[in-house]
Amino acid sequence: RVCVDICFSDFSEQFSGLSSPIAAESFNYKKFFEMVGLKKKSPEDVKKVFHILDKDRSGFIEEEELKFVLKGFTPDGRDLSDKETKALLAAGDKDGDGKIGAD
């Protein structure tokens, strides 16, 4: 369990409300972030989650790191499909460089 004041497992209850989280192509990043409450978190808490997702500590979240985001929230989590990963990346990639920065 990786924790930095915020633990992915702390979101398990909210995540369990998503319908069919294991089904292929069922991932909706907007609903997912709404369900786990990231929109309600402080900027500091969002940065903490960012640093947990940034597995290689590059200062960016790359496509390969996003594929595994669901596994951090629930033991039944699956890898995102390429299509789902690309949609999630596009939503967070503000400058079009193919990765998500901390800001």
Rounded Cα distance, 32 and 102, in Å: 19
| 76 assigned binding-site residue | no
| 99 assigned binding-site residue | yes
Rounded Cα distance, 38 and 14, in Å: 11
List all residues 6 or more positions away from 23 whose beta carbon is below 8 Å from its beta carbon: none
| 94 assigned binding-site residue | no
| 95 assigned binding-site residue | yes
- Nearest CA among 69, 80, 88 for reference residue 2: 69
| 58 assigned binding-site residue | yes
| Tokens 């990043």, located at residue | 29
Q: Which residues are annotated as a binding site for Ca(2+)?
A: 54, 56, 58, 60, 65, 93, 95, 97, 99
Binding-site sequence positions: 54, 56, 58, 60, 65, 93, 95, 97, 99
